Amino acid sequence: MLYLDNSATTKVDPEVYDAMLPYLLEEFGNPSSKYYPQAVNSKNAVAEARKNVADLLGVSSKEIIFTSGSTEGNNMIIKGAADYYADKGNHIITTSTEHPSVLETCRYLETKGFEVTYLPVDQFGRVSLDDFKRSFKDSTILATVIWGNNELGSLNNIKELSDYCLEQDIFFHTDATQVIGKVDINLEDFPGISFLSCSAHKFHGPKGVGCVYIKKDQYDMLTPLTPLYHGGGQENNFRSGTLAVPGIIGIGKAAELARERMTDNIKRLEENEDYLTKILKEKFSDVIAFNNDVSNKIPGILNVQFKGINNELLLKQLAPVIAASTGSACSSSKPSHVLQAIGLSLEQIRSTIRFSLSFQIYREELDVFKEL
């Protein structure tokens, strides 16, 4: 079966799996314990994993806080900043095409007295700098904008948005879940990004682990936030709880591999995408329309309408040979808010399928589409 739902989740890389195993069996110690080998070894391995994640993002180890994934990361940053800076203002800026873990967090904060601006997007799901600038108020404390959209793959211009926030002295968070390992990013070039969230299982690491980047200030202090979890003070007091060591080793290894293989992986993703696009255009020329832009997007994500065909029925028919989805796995029962935001009709949304590729796929495997 050809798995084309890599934006929902990816298969753990065998090297990641091998790296994790010892930390379930021999090296099972709590990294916060001391003196005996299991504890010291797991503590050292966590430090190495943190360094690998930090190197992938171009930041320092100190700025990486491990979480259970991007849902937690997005909640942690948005609620944490809203609470910590509530005396400075109550206005948050976001976009209408964020993942539910951002949108629902913002909606929750509205019930607590915060004001949220949900910016509109263009036909490919990108926010404009002009709209962004216009939405700032004296009461703005945080802007949160997705880096690469999980349904369309469109990339927001995070550089110009975060630079503007730096100029305005406003915190900027980005949900980078879908871009890690597929877009070469170095946060040294993004001084305006104060916070970033990501999840290991989107780049061939295990599920249930992720991290947030929390920027250091000029005094070498991490930007303060109110933590979601209070307790033993792990992760610099930002995220209490015994560290999920095997998962952390997994994200560390996945980050190391992503960094080493970035150029090749991106090339492979682009080639696979071009090849699949060509087959789809040839094979389904009379019914097909692409919802995504062809450039300035995450390689490997295709969002395609099969006009007049119900997407759920089509997916069921494809399922024995091709695994794909209608869009976000988290809200697959509702019509996509992302496709609504770019102006598609319900009929168009109900005929849309997302194919999300992987660099692990061989081009010849995509020939299965020719047989449909």
The answer to whether 39 contacts ligand PLP (rule: CB under 6 A) is: no
Of 90 and 352, which CB lies nearer to ligand PLP in the complex structure?
352
Tokens of 174: 């980005």
> What single letter denotes the amino acid at residue 265?
N
Nearer CB in complex with ligand PLP: 29/210: 210
- Tell the smallest beta-carbon distance from residue 284 to ligand PLP (Å): 26
Helix, coil or strand: residue 303: strand
292 near ligand PLP, judged by CB under 6 A = no
- Asked if residue 70 binds ligand PLP (CB under 6 A), the reply is yes
Task: Kindly write down the DSSP assignment for every residue of 79-135, as one continuous string.
Answer: HHHHHHTTTT--EEEEETTS-HHHHHHHHHHHHTT-EEEEE---TTSPPPHHHHHHT
Q: Is residue 99 within the footprint of ligand PLP (CB under 6 A)? A: yes
Catalytic residue among 165, 198, 211, 330: 330
Between 41 and 303, CB nearer to ligand PLP: 303
**Among 42, 71, 95, 352, contact with ligand PLP (rule: CB under 6 A):** 71
Contact 311, 126 (CB under 8 A): no
User: Rounded to whole angstroms, how far apart are CA atoms 325 and 322?
Assistant: 10
Tally the C-alpha atoms within 13 A of residue 315's C-alpha that lie toward its C-beta: 20
Measured CA to CA, the distance from residue 71 to residue 363 in angstroms comes to 33
> Which of positions 124-163 make contact with ligand PLP (CB under 6 A)?
146, 150
Contact letters for ligand PLP, residues 194-233 (x by CB under 6 A): -----x-x--------x-----------------------
**Looking at beta carbons only, is 9 or 60 nearer to ligand PLP?**
9
Is 211 among the catalytic positions? no
Distance between CA atoms of 316 and 294, rounded to whole angstroms?
Answer: 27
Q: Binding of ligand PLP at residue 178 (CB under 6 A)?
A: yes
β-pair partners for 325: 354
CA 138 to CA 148: how far, in whole Å? 28
- Pick 201 or 204: Cβ nearer ligand PLP: 201
What the block records as the tokens of 7 is 């934006």
How many whole angstroms separate alpha carbon 187 and alpha carbon 253? 20
Q: Which stretch binds ligand PLP (CB under 6 A): 29-37, 42-50, 68-76, 118-126?
A: 68-76
Residue 75 in contact with ligand PLP, rule: CB under 6 A: no
Residue ranges that bind ligand PLP, judged by CB under 6 A:
69-71, 99, 101, 146, 150, 175, 177-178, 199, 201, 210, 329-330
Q: Which residues are catalytically annotated? A: 330
